[in-house]
Structure 1
Amino acid sequence: MNMQVTDNSTAFAPPALRKLTDTGLTPVMMRDIVLKTIFRKNVEQISEIAKAVCLPIPLTTELIDMLRDQNLLQATGTLHATSSSEMGFQLTDGGKARALDALSQSEYYGAMPVPLEDYKVQVKRQSIRDIKLTRDMLEASMGHLILPDGLIDQLGPAVGSGRSVLMYGPPGNGKSSIAEGIRAAMGDNIYVPHALAYAGQVITVFDPIVHSPIMATETPEQTSLRRASSKFDTRYLLCQRPTVMTGGELNLSMLDLNYNAVSRTYQASLQLKSTGGVFIVDDLGRQEEPPQALINRWIVPMEVNYDILALQSGEKFEVPFDTLVVFSTNFHPNEIFDQAALRRIFFKVKIDGPNQEQFLKIFAMVAKKKGVPLDEASLIHMLKKKYPTIDNIYANYHPVFLCDQIKAICEFEGIPYQMTPDFIDRAWENLYVREEKIVH
């Protein structure tokens, strides 16, 4: 999708680390993560170790010197000709013992985490509530959709405010596509930490399923130089604003920290991963949890902009809640929510099916895309004979469904794609199942 979006990610970049104390981490935590990383990843040279723990080379060198002083690391005595004649390092017996002891407490290794308090500051810098979304940006992201009149007028202020949105209406009219368009309209990038540190625990945040890093094209020399003197804190990755999309599989446990008892590590909750982006709850009402229970879980975070999570120890702590939550449901809101919940969802937008004129536009566009020539007699047959049987209720998904059915019929009959009243009848048989009693 070609969209002109102003990306101010450099303006709110997390400041580069100049000294070890800038990390906000204890020497013991940094020591243990370096030892575990060398042990698990089998990295030897300072440039490799720096890349693995996401620290600048000068700071990594300081840590290596500290580990050598503590007799946990030793030089291998060999220079690697392949990489600027760097000295290699390996764990001493004491270093291996310390690494194994640290791994028994937590399997986490790799990127140095960002302290939670520092992350809160970064979230404010790149808040989704500060995003400048224009009509042109929203229309560009939804240009492939034929939308009901006035929908952009309603959606624009809702999305631009970074507040919660409830989209409701009959099924098959593009609520999911509109939710995706909202995400695409965001356009700019934010900084996502590999992991967070709180109370001595590490919580992994970066998730390749949710986060899409912006890969810079650089030469190896530029990459090496960037790691030596980066313009931002390399414990973060520059990513597109994230989108978490869930459907019927969503349950309340996904909104809490996920603790792995085997590796003794924490993974961020779904909404923590969506910080700075969009959380789409599709098909609300199809989950095992009642919709009211799900919405109750979000009510306080949506109002106060922070969420409460808990460690295994039971200790509770605050994390930022900087997320545009988009709820999408086929039910009428009054059926699934009480008035208190509805009051707290800032925008309610009804997504209706198309009228006959819009439906024909969609049908013509879909048929052209699918390579099915339009036939006037078939269209009149469909509008006069078929739609009256369902009270002339049109849905956005009907054209795709019917055209795919017609293509399958033509392929089976061994004839070029074509539309006939008979083929419309045969396709319609699969669109709706007749009400009848099955005798067993």
Structure 2
Amino acid sequence: MSTSQDLIPKIPLKPEDTELDFGFLADLALKIVYADTNCTTERAAEKLKLSMPVTEELLQHLYREKFVEIRGLITYGNNRYGMLDRGWQRAQRLLDMNGYIGPAPVSLEAYTTMMLRQSAATEMIQPEAVRTAMSGLVLPEATVQTLGLVASSRRSLFMTGPSGNGKTTIATALHSAQSGEIWIPYAIEVDGQIIKVFDLHNHQPVSVEGLARYDGRWTKIKRPLVIVGGEMTIDTMDLIYSQTVRFYEAPFQMKANGGTLVIDDFGRQRIDPHELLNRWIVPLEGRVDYLTLHTGKKIEVPFEQLLIFATNLDPADLVDDAFLRRMGYRLFVTTPSKDLYAQIFRRYVEESGFTYDSKYLDFLFRLYAEEKRPLRGCEPRDIIERCVDLCKYENRSKVLSPELLELAWNNYFGTRLTTN
């Protein structure tokens, strides 16, 4: 098994160490100079995420080709560069074909190797980590055990059950049971095309202070949690090509590699769920995914993530037995019993600064019975949050009462009751 030190990307000492074509790198460096009116070797290296010697070699090549000029020496190996007419013309042609200006990409082979090595090095999740991750939730012991098996095996999970009982919250908590960080590239190169991977919305960088020198084309992040819902379509599961910038954005499942992908509200998408499920069969079985460039070429990428489906619809209306057999685990998240509801209610009461008394719980149970409402796991939190809102708005002291609970109930459910 690889150690964390073994997984640190090695810094390229020469252009060929990048595993990229020299001409491709030189073209990217030219676009960097084009976009920076005060370009120096140091500034270009910072933007390319390459070492200064490698960057200077690229810039010297552009100088010899008369695309750029040297406008002055700052320090040894750090020159100031500017565009020449020939360079302007070439840069504009390059940008017409590919508008990417940013960190040098890594090769698809390097990305695949790194993802597989990191997956193999992942430590098995222990029961204590799962219990800690679930400590903020009130769940039956059997549910916690199933979630532990999902986390430790990294097999997929199909969660069903009525809405409002915490399926999304459970998925998020399960993700937090995974420890450690991973390395991902800013971008990947395939046949001269760029696939942008890093995305601040889904990826949270971590400090690399104290680490030995590493290949700056990679960044270290917390294991990603990507949640998609009704917006998911077949098209969003493939490479997303922008006609405006003329490069690709990685699809959400690729951005989730090394972490967790949650398909929330499954069955609420705008396309037939069977079509979506057929798209997932290969990744589920082979742990690889196939993506298509706009040229028609298909590429193979790793599918190394914990995959969770969550739905409040009847599985019989969504999937067939053949698909369910491919899922690692299935979990039905039901409405809470009165005892579990009481535990959830008491926790939120005390965490919100109120004093707990069972008479308030009895009052709520009477309201549920009168309106014939099923208990839902999210409702203790939602009702107490509205009690807090009322206390703040009316400058009340934090004291629960039937009257306060009834106001919160009415504001939550939109009903009008009279307290006996």
TM-score over 0.5 for the pair: yes
Could you tell me which of 11, 22, 28 is aligned with 2:6? Answer: 11
Separation in 1 of the partners of 2:81 and 2:393?
A: 67
Cα separation, partners in 2 of 1:390 and 1:284, compared to 1, 3 Å: farther
Separation in 2 of the partners of 1:149 and 1:270?
A: 32
Aligned to 2:160: 168
RMSD of aligned C-alpha atoms?
A: 2.5
1:176-234 C-alpha deviation (Å, 9 max, x unpaired): 1111112211121111111111112111111111111112347xxxxxxx9xxx64322
Q: Is the 8 A contact 2:151 2:177 kept in 1?
A: no
Aligned to 2:356: 374
1:227-265 C-alpha deviation (Å, 9 max, x unpaired): xxx643221111111111112222222111111112211
Shift of 1:393: 3.6
Separation in 2 of the partners of 1:210 and 1:189?
A: 14
Separation in 2 of the partners of 1:188 and 1:260?
A: 33
Percent of residue pairs bearing the same amino acid type: 31
Residue aligned with 1:283, SS: coil
Could you tell me which of 358, 367, 376 is aligned with 1:395? Answer: 376
1:20 is aligned with what amino acid? P
Residue aligned with 2:141, SS: coil
Shift of 1:173: 1.6
Aligned to 2:233: 251
Cα separation, partners in 2 of 1:413 and 1:64, compared to 1, 3 Å: closer
Separation in 2 of the partners of 1:272 and 1:190?
A: 14
Separation in 2 of the partners of 1:125 and 1:139?
A: 27
Separation in 2 of the partners of 1:43 and 1:164?
A: 50
Residue aligned with 1:402, SS: helix
Q: Is the 8 A contact 2:33 2:81 kept in 1?
A: no
Shift of 1:410: 4.6
Separation in 2 of the partners of 1:211 and 1:299?
A: 26
2:206 is aligned with what amino acid? I
Structure 2's unaligned 5+ residue stretches are none
Shift of 1:357: 2.0
Equivalent residues in 2 for 1:275-424, closer than 5 Å: 275-383=257-365, 385-389=366-370, 393-410=374-391, 415-424=396-405
Shift of 1:162: 1.9
Separation in 2 of the partners of 1:20 and 1:302?
A: 37
Aligned to 1:213: 205
Aligned to 1:260: 242
- Per chain length, whose mean CA-contact separation is higher, i.e. which structure has more relative contact order (CA < 8 Å, sep 6+)? 1
Shift of 1:358: 2.1
Separation in 1 of the partners of 2:112 and 2:392?
A: 57
Residue aligned with 1:127, SS: helix
1:327 is aligned with what amino acid? F
Aligned to 1:112: 104
Separation in 1 of the partners of 2:253 and 2:78?
A: 42
Equivalent residues in 2 for 1:136-285, closer than 5 Å: 136-217=128-209, 231-285=213-267
1:374 is aligned with what amino acid? Y
Q: State the TM-score, normalizing by the size of structure 2.
A: 0.91
Separation in 1 of the partners of 2:330 and 2:51?
A: 47
Structure 1's unaligned 5+ residue stretches are 1-6, 219-225, 436-440
Q: Is the 8 A contact 1:407 1:417 kept in 2?
A: yes
Shift of 1:106: 0.8
Q: Is the 8 A contact 1:167 1:327 kept in 2?
A: yes
Could you tell me which of 405, 419, 425 is aligned with 2:406? Answer: 425
Residue aligned with 1:66, SS: helix
Q: Is the 8 A contact 1:43 1:49 kept in 2?
A: no
Aligned residues: 415
Separation in 1 of the partners of 2:108 and 2:123?
A: 23
